[in-house]
Structure 1
Amino acid sequence: MCLNGPWSFAFDNQAEYNQPAEVPAWPLEIRVPFAPETMASGIADTGFHPRCWYKRTFSYEKDPANPRLILHFGAVDYEARVWLNGHFLGEHRGGHTPFWFDASHAALNGVNTLIVRADDDPGDLAKPRGKQDWQLEPHSIWYPRTSGIWQTVWLERAADVYIHRMSWTPLLERWEIGAEFFIGGPRRDSLRLRVRLSVKDKLLADDTYQVINREVHRRIALSDPGIDDFRNELLWSPESPTLIDATVELLDGDRVIDRVVSYTALRSVSVQRGRFLLNGRP
């Protein structure tokens, strides 16, 4: 469930409110995921605001087959603290990285209230800022600073045991894809992970691995007919941005308990003699 759209909003210019119950009023409406400095947010206020608050409601019905509710944030600049129905879910520091909370214990059947506090002191020059300006008006860049929620917020239903996260690493020299998978929830010795990789209608790999200590680390060999034309078509480049489709299934016995659809690509990046090489070519 995507939570982008209208949220109730309040500036806290003196950073005097620490808990949601202390916020006296929610006088503004903001459109997430646009930062309050932007026109698209509906607020377009580029002043100094070290703290701001967000609130919205959503409806939720618990599902015994998927009892977990995972709350995801694409990014909040710079520090975020999150409450659901008055329960503190957690906090995150860093304005450019995604984060998540398991909200299962706090979620209610029916209407739920989600509140986010975002702290981003523009005068704090010690924190990583990229090109964020610390003066009221931009003096070395052409755009204003960004604060608060500025990436998508969404809810994910999940089984009691689920695919928590994964990563892909192209290994062009070996014609392989490196893969790492991490399983959330209680440990089970009966878990297996099935991974299928394909391009269009051609199957490149279909393998099943045992989950050990809630993790899988593998190098997945791709089917290779040894034909140069096929190899060249499979490589990613700006001129031919071929993507490899991935389907990952978490199995408990023969039963699929979670499924994730993803993608990756096969390419190499290197520098030789001062030249940038993509797939071994300048």
Structure 2
Amino acid sequence: MFVLCWLLSLWAAGACAAPASDAPMQVYTRATQSLDGEWKAIVDPYENGYYNYRYEPFDRQPEPPPGAFFTDSKMRTPSELIEYDFDKSISLQVPGDWNTQDPRLYYYEGSVWYRKKFDAPSHRPSDRVFVHFGAVNYRADVYLNGRKLGVHEGGFTPFRFEVTGRLKDAGNSLVLKVDNKRHADGVPTLNTDWWNYGGITRSVELVVVPAVFVRDYRLALASLEDREVEGSVLLDGAQGGERVVLSLPELGIRESAEVAADGRAGFRFRVPGAHLWSPGNPRLYRVEIATEGDTLVDRVGLRTIAARGRQLLLNGEPVFLRGISVHEEYSADGGGRVRDAQQARQLLQWAKELDANFVRLAHYPHNEHIVRLADEMGLLAWSEIPVYWTIDWTNEATYRNAQDQLAAMIGRDANRASVVVWSLANETPVSEARNRFLSRLVAKARALDDTRLLSAAMEKHYRSDDPDVAVVEDPLADLLDLVSFNQYIGWYDGPPEKADRVRWEIPYDKPVFVSEFGGDALQGLHGDAGQIWTEEFQENLYRRTLAMLDRIEGYAGVSPWILADFRSPRRLLPGIQDDYNRKGVMSEKGVKKKAFFVLRDYYRGRAGQGGGGDVAAAGAGPPP
């Protein structure tokens, strides 16, 4: 059945009501004052700028001493003792990770203080001002002019603080204590297979809005047959009774609604002439949301995604997900975390060169550039939160952290047509505690957005009476729309020829998606197909694995691991790995390996068989 329920209709019914201050805030398309660029930084492994010598936090004192780094103090007398100076300290670029900007910080895990001086943006006395962070890894303690704004935990989701009335006309000091230390109760937890890049990794912006402004909206195709669209708008600062106008000018749509006391207004209308979004026709429409004093402009695509039996349906038509997994890392120019839209576009362009129509954005919410570019470039996307391997399943604070990251991911990207799957976990071992934890996340995800498919990358095992029968069976699968699993037959699980004889048992009447497979190869290392680490070994593994996957009943797509080699502290083999996971079908510099062409040819054959999701649904026609 179609996944058609809508977040804002639930809000209207009070099912997931939240204060406006906790709601998502759409910033990407607004005019902002950028705080990107050079920031001064102090590396503080002992956190001397945060604790006194008795390990008492300075920011819990009524009047923090000038020795607290967040006060950004200068000597007032020749005898005053202040043991730091931002102006004389190192500089780091924002957005960016610190690991690749200074060789002394390559492996560093701990606290780094960032400071940016700026003048207040131009604004009217009645306006409101927010400081918005795209992402900071992992914990950010944020201070403005010596006073704490708040704390955020989670390295991949946006957050913001209102600073109305707290700004000086000139010389404001914004200070962050950024701490990327790993924690057993964190999300992710201590052990991951990717680099723990620290820093302010995404843009920082000042946003000026009126006292009453369009904070958020949702818009989705609720009925494929009737071309009916459902949506809602959230006004922050509204008292109720205000009017909101929602327009899609290219479709001749102009709808008006009255705002309720909670600031929300609902819309429902038909768009019989709309062209549906798909990889072959990524049609986006301008949407304008206006109220007195404020207008938010964006672009949206209209489409449906559904699971019916073992089929995936995009706009009512079968689709096979020709995918590739992607990390948010770009090392072609020596960088680490993706820093801008240009780098994000390059990753997606490499995926397009594979003839892919789908990207698995692993293992955490990626930057907003990449999902918006996927909208433009016609790539379906899977977005997930970093509930990865062994989470502290019994810790309620850990659960709340995961739920907050889920809500932030959905809140930011719920209007992106490209995003068709929310993923809740990766390779988590089955247990009662884990099942309860993930069941709660499933319920939360459906309450927040039931217009998309839910999945998680699960694991396989073998039948005890037949070691050639691989089984995917997990209590979590009963709650999900897509049965997804990772498998590494031919790499961690026997030699590549094992794939020739394995049979699959997947007892669910649902689409099956293989979320990972692969093996390592050092680009440029050649040899016999039986020689590990060579391109020929990886090439042979891909040929055998793809043939095996074609035998799975209900097989609806695959995202091999991974597009490009990426840094990982678990990968230590000198001369081969050198801190890189080498499972990419491309090197970290973007050089294609032999497996790239095997996968590309397989996808071209798949697209030629139909069901590729690369054309608009029947009757939609070409873009106008």
TM-score, normalised to structure 2's length?
Answer: 0.38
1:116-265 to structure 2, matched below 5 A, reads 116-122=176-182, 124-129=183-188, 140-141=193-194, 144-173=195-224, 174-185=226-237, 187-198=238-249, 202-224=250-272, 230-231=273-274, 234-251=275-292, 257-265=293-301
Name the SS for the 2:317 alignment partner.
Answer: coil
Q: Does 1:277 align with 2:313?
A: yes
Deviation at 1:275, TM superposition (A): 2.5
Shift of 1:66: 5.1
Cα distance change of structure 1 residues 70 and 263 upon mapping to structure 2, 3 Å threshold: same
Whole-Å separation in 1 of the counterparts to 2:228 and 2:264: 16
Equivalents in 2 of 1:216, 1:205: separation in Å?
20
* Matched letter for residue 191 of structure 1: E
- Superposed, 1:95-110 pairs within 5 Å as 95-110=155-170
Superposed displacement of residue 162, structure 1: 1.5
Q: How does 1:9-158 map to 2 (within 5 A)?
A: 9-18=41-50, 21=66, 22-23=68-69, 24-26=84-86, 27-38=89-100, 42-44=101-103, 45-60=105-120, 63-64=123-124, 67-122=127-182, 124-129=183-188, 140-141=193-194, 144-158=195-209
* 1:5 counterpart residue number: 37
Paired AA for residue 279 in structure 2: P
Counterpart of 1:48 in structure 2: which amino acid?
Y
Does structure 2 retain, via aligned residues, the 8 Å contact 1:82–1:88? Answer: yes
Decide whether aligned partners of structure 1 residues 172 and 150 sit closer, same or farther in structure 2, where only a CA change above 3 A counts.
farther
Change (3 A) 1:217 1:190: closer
User: Is 2:139–2:179's contact at 8 Å kept on the other side of the alignment?
Assistant: yes
Q: CA deviation at 1:5?
A: 0.7
Structure 1 position 182, deviation (Å) = 2.0
- The equivalent residue for 2:463 is none
Q: Which moved more, 1:242-251 or 1:17-26?
A: 17-26
- Contact 2:137–2:199, Cα closer than 8 Å, also in 1: yes
Greater helix fraction, Structure 1 or Structure 2:
2
Matched residue, 1:254: none
Shift of the alpha carbon at 1:236? 0.5
1:44-74 deviations in whole A, cap 9, x for unaligned? 5222322111101111255326521111111
Distance (whole Å) between structure 1 residues aligned to residue 229 and residue 301 of structure 2: 8
The one-letter code matched in structure 1 to 2:90 is L
> For structure 1, which runs of at least 5 residues remain unmatched after alignment?
135-139, 225-229, 252-256
Which residues of structure 2 form unaligned runs of 5+? Answer: 1-32, 51-57, 60-65, 70-83, 319-624
Quick one: which amino acid aligns to residue 266 of structure 1? L
Aligned to 2:290, the other structure's residue is in SS state: strand
> C-alpha deviations, 1:198-247, integer Å up to 9, x for none?
3xxx33420111111242242431332xxxxx55xx11111110112111
Judged with a 3 Å threshold, the aligned counterparts in structure 2 of structure 1 residues 152 and 133 are, in CA distance, closer, same or farther, namely farther
Q: Which residue of 1 aligns with 2:456?
A: none
Q: What is the root-mean-square deviation in Å for CA atoms of aligned residues?
A: 2.3
Query: Displacement of 1:15 after TM fit?
Result: 2.9
Q: Normalized against structure 1, the TM-score is what?
A: 0.81
Q: Distance in 2 between matches of 1:177 and 1:118?
A: 42
How many equivalent residue pairs?
Answer: 254
Quote the Cα distance in structure 1 between the aligned partners of 2:199 and 2:173.
18
Matched residues in 1 for 2:228 and 2:114: separation? 45
SS of equivalent residue, structure 1 residue 63 = coil
Residue by residue over 1:145-202, the C-alpha shift from the partner in whole angstroms, topping out at 9 and shown as x without a partner, is 22221111101111122122223333243423332322223x434421111013xxx3
Which structure has the bigger radius of gyration?
2
CA contact (8 A) 1:171 1:266 kept: no
% of aligned pairs identical?
A: 24
Does the 8 Å contact 1:66/1:157 carry over to 2?
Answer: no
Distance 2:179 2:107 in 1: 14
Q: 176-185 or 108-117, which moves further after superposition?
A: 176-185
Query: Structure 2 vs 1, CA of residues 242 and 61 (structure 1 numbering), >3 Å: closer, same or farther?
Result: closer
Distance 2:115 2:136 in 1: 14
Q: Alpha-carbon deviations, 1:233-264, whole Å to 9, x = none?
A: x111111101121111112xxxxx11111122
Deviation per residue, 1:116-144 (Å, 9 max, x gap): 1122213x1321128x856xxxxx45xx2
Give the conservation status (yes or no) of the 8 Å contact 2:236–2:263.
no
Q: Partners in 2 of 1:272 and 1:53 — Cα distance?
A: 51
Q: Which amino acid aligns with 2:277?
A: W
Alpha-carbon distance in 2 for matches of 1:10, 1:178: 49
Give the secondary structure class of the aligned counterpart of 2:251.
Answer: strand
CA separation in 2, counterparts of 1:68 and 1:190?
21
Question: 2: distance between equivalents of 1:273 and 1:222?
Answer: 28
